[in-house]
Structure 1
Amino acid sequence: MSTKDYIEKDYYKVLGVSKDASPDDIKKAYRKLARANHPDANPNNPEAERRFKDVSEAHDVLSSPAKRKEYDEARRLFGAGGFRFPGAGGRTGQPGTGSVDDLFRQATQAGDGFGDLFGGLFGGANRTRTSATGRGPRRGSDIEGEATIDFTASVNGTTVPMQMVSEAACPTCQGTGAKAGTVPHVCPKCEGSGMQTSTSGGVFAVTEPCTECRGRGMVVDDPCPTCGGSGRGRSTRTMQVRIPAGVTDGQRIRLKGKGGAGENGGAAGDLYVIVHVRPHPVFGRKGDNLTLTAPVTFTEAALGASIDVPTLDGPSVRLKIPAGTPNGRTFRVRGKGVARRDGTPGDLLVSVEVVVPDQLTDEAKQALDAYAAAAGTSNPRLGLFANARSGSA
């Protein structure tokens, strides 16, 4: 049901009752019309189905004191025969008469500000009231915590204990906010709705939490000495939090329903855990792959070799290094990485690092001199100077 329908539809006329009809008159009219136009009694009758929907819609609004009050206020403000709006149908700045379509067209062009006002008048108040009233259920607050885990735990998943401090129902008054032996009473200002409506300039209505009961809908005359009448108290509890496998450093995990307790039967809030991962002395991570740097000797890189490299939490694997492997070359070991969302594992990326000895024996120096003479290798930096002069690769 749109806001335009809310203004233009005459629900009293739909039910065939007067504007000052009592709740019992409205109920009787609805039952009579609902039975007469029910789809079961009128199969394959689109007109009866439409009337049944209109009757149900009218009853939904007029049977609720709060909705009926807002509906009557909307009809009073905007009326069925037009409304007064600055600049409509006349010179700029002069009052004029326009249609409801004109109002909504201008409201749409005006942007979000008008939308907020209309939402608070016709629909937003009802939505806010459900959570703000003290008599209705209220969702618990969200809680945020932090957990620091080891690198291996981040890959495999783990369970960590966390001490949470949140608001819960006061244990002394059981959330009523009233001293033992007393009970809160309905707020006389908002009549228990938790909301109050005020008009600005006699045109737009703004709905906000009641200043008397602060949105609870109930007033406490003799407050509970433990919570001071708020009905809430601080609760400390330790819970085991499951950190899923594959979590990354800085990732924010949402645990639904593990936050603050709800009020008056409301759902619990959520727990958000920011995970910090300690670095590993050997392994790194790149997406779903683990990374590792393996030192090799010059002889192994030049002649080729088979070397053993570790895995994160399993036996080592043998990696074949082909002859002539340059420094920094990366090899892939399949299936030794981080588990993906679909359950398949990532890979282990091993980069070789050629280690140059800082001390050589005389025999080793002679052997290298003999190698240099036998290899007769040209200067590898000739191309470097040539490209530096030409500016091209």
Structure 2
Amino acid sequence: MSKRDYYDVLGVAKGASAEELKKAYRAKAKELHPDRNKDKPEAEAQFKEVNEAYEVLKDADKKAAYDRFGHAAFDGGMGGGGHHPGGRGNADFASAFSDVFDDLFGDFMGGQRGGGRQRAARGSDLRYNLRVTLEEAYAGLQKTITVPSSVQCTACNGSGAEGGAEPTTCPTCSGMGKVRAQQGFFTVERTCPTCSGLGQIIKNPCKSCGGAGRVQKERALSVNIPAGVETGTRIRLAGEGEAGLRGGPPGDLYIFIEVKKHEIFEREANNLYCRVPVSMATAALGGDIEVPTIDGGRSRVKIPAGSQSGNQMRLRGKGMPGLRGGGHGDMFIELAVETPVNLTARQKELLKEFEELSEDNNPESHSFFKSVKSFWDSMKG
């Protein structure tokens, strides 16, 4: 029986990215794992099929060979030894195929393709999540944070060798970081197993760092948080990530800002919104109220007579500052007319008397119920 297409096995399109292939593989492997399908004997074969497909497609060289030649790239159809794609002998088919061209044209083109040892590994980037208040985001601040990370070993100055001695050239690959082996017609190039591609080895590793050239340590860093930051703002501190392996350059530190919710203000971009309750009498008669501002001050706002819930008033320039300049946003006051509760008998009496005299004082209610009456009349007709 002919083999299924590897892309069909994983359920992805032929142009799928490495991340899409990985995601599809994980989903399929989880779904078909024999431990989860003890009542389905065919699941084990399908599970192996998924693993075989991913073993080929996750490797750029093998994937390139498969895209060009299909299963023939690994089953002997291209003159190979008929090895399984997951095994050692098949294949590095694409690598071997490209090595033929390296051997033929490498000197002519000015050197080997991809030859030479790897450089000392760069340190990893780090992420630090920092929560600030809305007031801090408004004013900006200088904050000291503690970051656990790898730092350069001081005992060996990052070399990984005891006493800071220089590493020696790897005897297996002669400092190239790669070794070549003959497999039938092809010459296959692989990363040197002795030095892991670095081209150098350490005969006497540093006792403090075990030869890594870096150690774990907490560092205190002073961070400048500019005014106007919002949730999702990212601050990059170059060179403040993990130290590189064996003297390699350090990574970067990325600080992700999260602005806490405020009990009074709600933020939208650079504008602030504040919901202010007002009494029914103040809304009807008008008046002045004092509202807080994010800088800790107060602003006096005039409430027009006849104001309704939801009405907004703008205080220009009382919002958040722009992160990259451009002035401040605005602050919007939203009125919430409050209905009185726990009325006394006298208050109820006065409200009933007021209601009897208020036929022309509620235009929205009058208009609504007039429309309702017309609707009901039309339904009867």
TM-score range normalised by the length of the shorter chain: 0.5 to 0.7
Please name the residue that 1:281 is paired with: 263
Please name the residue that 1:153 is paired with: 136
Q: What is the distance in 1 between the residues matched to 2:289 and 2:258? A: 33
Pairwise CA distance, 1:166: 1.8
Please name the residue that 2:48 is paired with: none
Q: What is the distance in 2 between the residues matched to 1:151 and 1:227? A: 43
Instruction: State, as a whole percentage, how many aligned pairs show the same letter.
Output: 35
Please name the residue that 1:125 is paired with: 114
Q: Is the aligned partner of 1:177 residue 2:163?
A: no
Q: Which amino acid aligns with 1:364?
A: Q
Secondary structure, in 3 states, of the residue corresponding to 1:375? coil
Q: Note the aligned Cα RMSD (angstroms).
A: 3.8
Please name the residue that 1:313 is paired with: 295
Q: What is the distance in 1 between the residues matched to 2:290 and 2:195? A: 72
1:248 to 1:302, Cα distance in 2 relative to 1, 3 A: same
1:302 to 1:118, Cα distance in 2 relative to 1, 3 A: farther
Secondary structure, in 3 states, of the residue corresponding to 1:167? strand
Q: Which amino acid aligns with 2:196?
A: R
1:217 to 1:94, Cα distance in 2 relative to 1, 3 A: closer
Please name the residue that 1:323 is paired with: 305
Q: Which amino acid aligns with 1:133?
A: R
Q: Is the aligned partner of 1:236 residue 2:210?
A: no
Please name the residue that 2:122 is paired with: 139
Gaps of 5+ in 1: 1-84, 88-92, 96-112
How many residues in Structure 1 have an aligned counterpart in Structure 2? 277
1:200 to 1:373, Cα distance in 2 relative to 1, 3 A: farther
Q: Which amino acid aligns with 1:149?
A: V
Q: What is the distance in 1 between the residues matched to 2:377 and 2:270? A: 43
Q: What is the distance in 2 between the residues matched to 1:361 and 1:339? A: 48
Please name the residue that 2:14 is paired with: none
Contact 2:159 2:165 in 1 (8 A): no
Gaps of 5+ in 2: 1-67, 71-76, 80-92, 107-111
Pairwise CA distance, 1:372: 1.2
Contact 1:149 1:276 in 2 (8 A): yes
Q: What is the distance in 2 between the residues matched to 1:199 and 1:318? A: 86
The equivalences for 1:191-206 within 5 A come to: 191-196=174-179, 202=185
Please name the residue that 1:357 is paired with: 340
Contact 1:133 1:195 in 2 (8 A): no
1:86 to 1:334, Cα distance in 2 relative to 1, 3 A: closer
Pairwise CA distance, 1:222: 2.1
> Per-residue CA shift, 1:112-134, capped at 9, x if unaligned?
x989x9699788726x94xx334
Q: What is the distance in 2 between the residues matched to 1:261 and 1:240? A: 18
Q: What is the distance in 2 between the residues matched to 1:338 and 1:288? A: 5
Q: What is the distance in 1 between the residues matched to 2:376 and 2:215? A: 73
